[in-house]
Amino acid sequence: MAIALQVKKLTEQLEEYNYQYYVLDEPSISDAQYDAVFQQLKAIESEHPHLLHENSPTQKVGGQALSKFEQVAHEMPMLSLDNMFNDEALQAFIQRASDKSIKEVAFCIEPKLDGLAVSIIYEHGLLVQAATRGDGHTGENVTANVKTISNIPLRLRGDNIPQRLEVRGEVFMPQLGFDKLNARLEALGEKSFVNPRNAAAGSLRQLDSKIAASRPLAFYCYAVGVFDGDLENSQYARMQQLKGWGLPVSSEISRVQGLDACLAYYRNIVTQRESLGYAIDGVVYKVDDIDLQDKLGFVARAPRWASAYKFAAEEAITRVENVEFQVGRTGAITPVAKLRPVFVGGVTVSNATLHNQDEIARLGILIGDDVVVRRAGDVIPQVARVLLENRDLSQTQEIHFPSVCPVCSSALERIVGEATIRCTGGLYCAAQRKEAIKHFASRKALDIDGLGNKLVALLVDHDLIKDPAQLFDLTLAQISTLPRMGSVSAKKVLNSLQVSKKTTLSRFLYALGIREVGEATANNLAMHYKNLSALQDAGIEALKEVADVGDIVAKNIYYFFRQPSNLQVVNRLLEAGVHWPDIQAVESTTQTLVGQTFVITGSFANISRSDIKSELQALGAKVSGSVSKKTNTLIAGTAAGSKLEKAQALDINIMDEQQLFTLLNKQ
């Protein structure tokens, strides 16, 4: 008993020190003193393993490596932000967000951290799950790695903590840590990272949490996702609340009113940018009042109540040494300026796209010219302008667009009204073949693990495959004889190919690489037509009824399915066993909970809340966040709180975990 109490005391002591150090930035003890307490707790825990709690402050070192990350569905989608690039856009945003009933709307202003978005869920104050943003709807479960990040508390402190609280924020790598990490990697002869953002992303996606633990990552909260209970009704006040519970929040956040104050914040942070110690790429303006946020709502993937004012792109001067022509997946020929390497916007740039012939003419650019290159965030580097005053005609040379495809020598075509020149070779062209297969295997398409760019290039160059369908004819012997491919990796690839056959209609449609059919359009098409043959038979006018499909996309889809070589690939894929659940059949035979509303509360021993939610939704149920008269059933786990009381008061059907399993199995 005395020992248990001591563990509790030491734990609380360390948690308090962490809070002072990471959140308040006011340490009260020295590192050595901290270390002494830490070692004391560790010693007791190793002597009494039953007293070791998984959220103990000593557990920030990582554990067993994973073989892959599990997928996590976000209960509330993780959105992105609209961008603004000048003061006028900020003014327009403030006007749009202003409500006539309020004299002057207040904004919470925050630095736009340049890392990656993460969602962290605390239940009963304990960190239970962390996930990446992914596509906004589903991300990857990176709990083991996030738990190793020093300034993220494993347990929240203070009072009135919501039973369940999802905080969202940015994982990033401070500049000092980044420099040290790169020095360390270089000393070991390993590849260093080009910028802190990539380093943060690479570290967070380590399957081995011990490696993640060795990386100097940090986190700042900027939003609340789902939560039980009451929170402040203002963004700024919520951030203070999170801080009070021990969560790290940027000290740069501020609440202001009026355009002038909004602009002043921006101008001020621009001057401080270099001394912050971490990379930011702009400033985020958020309507402070949460009710007003709700009233403003969302458009597509971004809120109307928030917007990011991005910093001007960085520029640098360098020389064009050559121009090469690349052939893309759809045959588009893109001129690429080969530059004398120059450091700009956080990376060394040696290529910049020149887009097309019109852009070359607009820039008036020659090989040998000095140019201004510009790079912002993750955007492809651009040539902003030519420094004509530096031009030396004896050293420059005109850029000649090729007359045939530089890869396969097929004829080129330029469609009237389009700026792009394309190779007409289709899958005959090795470049298009490689790109089409890479796209087919990519994460958002069939997600074929282990089939990376290098292997695709080898397979095509060795003439083993000509189209995506032939991937499924590959044999172990064929793959393992390729350079640098042992039989172990070859077996892995074959296994991934097998696994990838089970997919969804929307991934399949996306994988086909129909021009201008991205992930979202593929999803809309799948939802609308529910099966492939209905979509294949659809006419242009019918296709235009699908959300987001305009005239051009409709024609692209229509003609894709009228091209015999495409139909052949589609049929061979189906023959190879590529399949997906039939959306129509799934809906009509198993949608037994249509019209019913469920609310989920508490924690569950054998299933996560997000799994319960998706299982219920798959049966057609609506899952809502709060109990009301419209609720049909409350699924209550252990430690259910106010929702359970409310459901009881309203005489709503209540199910426990056991009953839920009976319901799910029975259905």
Written in H, E and C, the secondary structure of 446-505 is CCCCCCCHHHHHHHHHCCCCCCHHHHHHCCHHHHHCCCCCCHHHHHHHHHHHHHHCECCH
| 3-class secondary-structure state, position 141 | strand
Q: Which of 44, 52, 79, 105 binds ligand IVH (CB under 6 A)?
A: 79
Site for ligand IVH in 641-660 (CB under 6 A): none
Number of residues that bind ligand IVH (CB under 6 A): 15
Is 289 near ligand IVH (CB under 6 A)?
Answer: no
Contact 210/63 with Cβ under 8 angstroms?
Answer: yes
d(CA 84, CA 270): 15
β-pairing, 280-287 with 306-310?
Answer: antiparallel
CB 287 → ligand IVH: shortest distance, Å?
Answer: 11
Q: Is 89 in the site for ligand IVH (CB under 6 A)?
A: no
- Chain CA centroid to CA 339, Å: 30
The CB-of-296 to ligand IVH minimum distance in angstroms stands at 11
284 binds ligand IVH (CB under 6 A): yes
Among 72, 117, 142, 647, binds ligand IVH (CB under 6 A): 117
Stretch that binds ligand IVH, among 74-82, 366-374, 377-385, 388-396 (CB under 6 A): 74-82
Establish if 170 lies at the interface with ligand IVH (CB under 6 A): yes
Q: CB nearer to ligand IVH: give 303 or 602.
A: 303
Q: How far, CA to CA in Å, does 26 sit from each of 23, 83, 240?
A: 8, 35, 16
Minimum separation from the CB atom of position 601 to ligand IVH (A): 25
Instruction: Please confirm, yes or no, whether 103 is among the known catalytic residues.
Output: no
Q: What is the separation of C-alpha 147 from the centre of its chain, rounded to a whole number of angstroms?
A: 19
* Residue 216 near ligand IVH by CB under 6 A: no
Candidate list 218, 256, 306, 634; residue touching ligand IVH; CB under 6 A: 306
Convert 352-365 to b/e letters by CB count within 10 Å (16 or more is b). Answer: bebbbbebbeebeb
Stretch in the footprint of ligand IVH (CB under 6 A) among 79-87, 177-185, 630-638, 652-660: 79-87
Closest separation between CB of residue 304 and ligand IVH, Å?
10
Active-site residue identified among 103, 112, 191, 444 = 112
311 lines the binding site for ligand IVH (CB under 6 A): no
* Smallest separation (angstroms) from ligand IVH to the CB of 254: 12
CA angle 311, 316, 319 (to 5 degrees): 150
Residue nearest to ligand IVH (CB): 117
Beta partners for 224?
A: 167
Contact call for residues 504 and 522 (beta carbons, < 8 A): no
Helix (H, G, I), strand (E, B) or coil at 182: helix
Distance CA 269, CA 252 (A): 9
Structure tokens at 278: 């971490």
308 binds ligand IVH, rule: CB under 6 A = yes
| CB closer to ligand IVH, 97 vs 308 | 308
Least distance (Å) from ligand IVH to the CB of residue 80?
4
Q: Which range binds ligand IVH by CB under 6 A, 78-86, 229-237, 348-356, 580-588?
A: 78-86
d(CA 254, CA 246): 19
- The yes or no reply on residue 200 touching ligand IVH (CB under 6 A) is no
Tell me if 474 sits within 8 A of 497, measured CB to CB: yes
Please report how the helices 453-461 and 430-441 are oriented relative to each other, as an axis angle in degrees rounded to 10. Answer: 140
Question: Considering the rule CB under 6 A, would residue 84 count as an interface residue with ligand IVH?
Answer: no
Q: Is 110 in the site for ligand IVH (CB under 6 A)?
A: yes
| 226 binds ligand IVH, rule: CB under 6 A | no
Residue 436's H or E segment, with its range, is: helix 430-441
Question: Closest separation between CB of residue 255 and ligand IVH, Å?
Answer: 13
Q: What amino acid positions are annotated as catalytic residues?
A: 112
Site residues, ligand IVH (CB under 6 A)? 79-81, 110, 112-113, 117, 133, 170, 222-223, 284, 303, 306, 308
